[in-house]
Amino acid sequence: MLSLKLPLQTRIENWVNFSGNGRIPLHPKDYYALSNAGLVDSVSEKYSSEVFCLGGEKALIAYMKETMGKRYEEEEESESEE
Instruction: Delimit the domains of the chain by residue range.
Output: 21-81
Band of residue 73 on the pLDDT scale cut at 50, 70, 90: low
Band of residue 39 on the pLDDT scale cut at 50, 70, 90: very high
Q: What global pTM score does this model have?
A: 0.72
Round to whole Å and give the CA distance between 65 and 54: 16
> Which of 24, 31, 16 is CA-nearest to residue 63?
31
